[in-house]
Structure 1
Amino acid sequence: GYGSLMWRPGFEYEERRPARLRGYHRAFCVYSHVHRGTPEKPGLVFGLDAGGACRGVAFRVEARRAEDVRRYLQAREQVTLVYRDVMKPVELVDDGSRVEALCFIVDRAHEQYAGRIDFETQVRLIAEGEGRSGKNPDYLESTVRHLDEVGLSDEGLTRLWRAVEQRLRR
């Protein structure tokens, strides 16, 4: 989990541990037309995009529940098919061990792929976005808070959150 799955997984799990995925980074690179925006007024949500590394959490689920959890995650994350679900090795931060994890990698060919968006446009889209799962600023704030809680603070996201807060106070 690198976004809302960290604070609202929606499934039972045995264990949750800080983890790092290499080769992909968390980015506001997906226009949200459902969960945090609409087609007329898109919000922005995270995707795992090529390059760098992403810190988040890995969930361990009981083997007997694994397929149900996979189906749940596919239904939740693949509403518009903007991601490709793949198994990738992730490193557990606390002991350096590696495990295979289901990851949702952004499809750069999808119409909702936003690519690199300048900072001010990110601030505007996030401040104004609202969809089925709630307000886009809440999504960013919760991500910042939960990364802090698991010891994976992200300076760039904190800076973005402060700018969104400032815009909302106008």
Structure 2
Amino acid sequence: MSEAQFEPLWVFGYGSLIWNPGFPVAQTAHARLMGWRRSFCMSSIHHRGTPEAPGLVLALDQAENAHCDGVAFRVTDGHESATLEYLRERELVSSAYLETRQTVHLSAGGTLENVLTFVIDPDHCQYRGDLDLETQAQIIARAVGGRGPNDEYLINTAEHLHQIGVPDAELSWLQSRVAEIKAEIKPS
């Protein structure tokens, strides 16, 4: 795919990209992606867990009548190729995400087409769409990976969503429940 196809290059962030995009950002906009939901539905065996004790990270899970509020980032002109390379290395580390192009609806009005969006592959072995919130909380409270404790990922994402005015009830519940679990398992 040529760089010219994506100028300007927009990226949809719904999890860690919101607080750690890792690429030069020229513009941001609150955006909504229809037909997908933010969910801790992907086992993390690299960043927030290990193969022996997987953690969980957020992914976009396709769901009828769902939507996900997040941030559309416009990549700074001239950084499209480097950003694509960086995001592919970051997001496609285990092939559990699929690189897609989506249409997002801007909260200020209008739409953006062809927005780079990473979604979960429901056929991948790391897909965990079957976990209830309590099980997710138990895993997140205990898992640690190459980029640190799993609960740091949850806390950073939930707090940054709150700061930008995009509350997520499931993440808020998970944040409270994980704090309770961690308090229970802390040695006295």
Q: Above 0.5 in TM-score?
A: yes
TM bucket normalised to smaller: over 0.9
Partner of 1:163: 177
Aligned-pair CA distance for 1:67: 1.9
Deviates further, 11-20 or 59-68: 59-68
Stretches (4+) displaced over 6 A: none
CA-to-partner distance for each residue in 1:17-75, whole Å, 9 max, x for gaps?
Answer: 21111111101100000000001000000111111111111100134211211111010
The answer to whether the aligner puts 1:119 opposite 2:143 as a matched pair is no
* CA–CA separation in structure 1 for the residues paired with 2:141 and 2:167: 21
Partner of 2:105: 91
* CA–CA separation in structure 2 for the residues paired with 1:130 and 1:92: 35
Percent identity (aligned): 43
Partner of 2:10: none
CA-to-partner distance for each residue in 1:72-116, whole Å, 9 max, x for gaps?
Answer: 1010001000011011011111x1211131001100111100112
Query: For 1:14, what is the secondary structure of its paired residue?
Result: strand
CA-to-partner distance for each residue in 1:108-167, whole Å, 9 max, x for gaps?
Answer: 111100112022211111001111111100110111101111110112210111000000
Deviates further, 5-14 or 60-69: 60-69
Q: TM-score, normalised on structure 1?
A: 0.96
Q: What RMSD in Å do the two structures reach over aligned CA positions?
A: 0.9
Long gaps (5+) in structure 1 = none
Map residues 49-128 of structure 1 onto 2, 5 A cutoff.
Answer: 49-51=61-63, 52-93=66-107, 95-100=108-113, 101-128=115-142
* CA–CA separation in structure 1 for the residues paired with 2:58 and 2:36: 12
Map residues 34-53 of structure 1 onto 2, 5 A cutoff.
Answer: 34-51=46-63, 52-53=66-67
Matched residue type, 1:44: L
* CA–CA separation in structure 1 for the residues paired with 2:119 and 2:163: 24
* CA–CA separation in structure 2 for the residues paired with 1:119 and 1:105: 20
Long gaps (5+) in structure 2 = 1-12
Query: For 1:138, what is the secondary structure of its paired residue?
Result: helix
Query: For 2:181, what is the secondary structure of its paired residue?
Result: helix
Q: TM-score, normalised on structure 2?
A: 0.87
